[in-house]
Amino acid sequence: LGDISPDGARLLLRDHLSPESEQPLWAVPTIGGSALRIGNVLAHDATWMPNNGGILYANGNNLYLSTISSSKPAIYATLPGRAFWLRWSPTGKLLRFTIIDPLTHTTTLWQLSASDRRPHQLLPDFSQPASECCGVWTADGSSFIFQSNRGGNSDLWRLSGDSTSDPVRLTNGPL
């Protein structure tokens, strides 16, 4: 399951068990019905755009914007690595995601604004080696909750709103 549409009517799916890193995307109605293949899209992760603005998906080091019926996706942003766990803020102004470094096996949090689409790393020196991942926004957008292995413990941390400084630890490991 990649994502649930903002209106809750559709699921965005890919085959997680496939050995291929880039896989077809499917939209599946939540109340029953047939799955719909999303064009010729191949992706390793995807999310619905805010306000029913299409689908944002990751392929290689790029993010692409597509619609369910589009045969020609448009490049949305180029990233410094493979992005996973794509999450829009409730306002639709910020996208946060995890980048996995295949050489060092580290994970870092990144964000880009919908207005400039330039990726910026969040918390570059928060843990050594870097291990931040898998963040989600609270429904009201007041916080961003993420996981980090810091000081030998795996814990959940909170950033206030769109702030990128002074995370607060929420748990006291192990998760």
**Distances from the Cα of 77 to the Cαs of 60, 61, 113, in angstroms?**
11, 9, 11
Whose tokens are 């829009």? That residue is: 88
- The 3-state DSSP class for residue 141 equals coil
- Give me the percent of the chain exceeding a pLDDT of 90: 52
CA angle 112, 69, 3 (to 5 degrees): 45
Whose tokens are 């009517």? That residue is 9
Q: What pLDDT, on a 0 to 100 scale, did the predictor assign at position 175?
A: 67
The 10s digit of each residue's pLDDT in 50-107 is: 877 789 999 999 999 987 776 688 999 999 999 999 999 999 999 999 999 888 889 9
In the numeric block, which tokens belong to residue 154?
A: 């795996």
Mean pLDDT check: name the lowest of 35-39, 117-121, 144-148.
Answer: 35-39
Tell me how far apart the alpha carbons of residues 85 and 142 are, in angstroms, rounded to a whole number: 19
Once rounded to an integer, what is the mean pLDDT over residues 127-152?
90
Count of Cβ atoms closer than 10 Å to residue 135 Cβ: 23
Q: Judge whether residue 136 has pLDDT over 90.
A: yes
Q: Which residue reads 């929420």 in tokens?
A: 170
Handedness of CA 78, 44, 121, 7 (dihedral sign): positive
CB 34 within 8 A of CB 45: no
**5 band by pLDDT with thresholds 50, 70 and 90:** confident
Mean pLDDT for the chain overall? 89
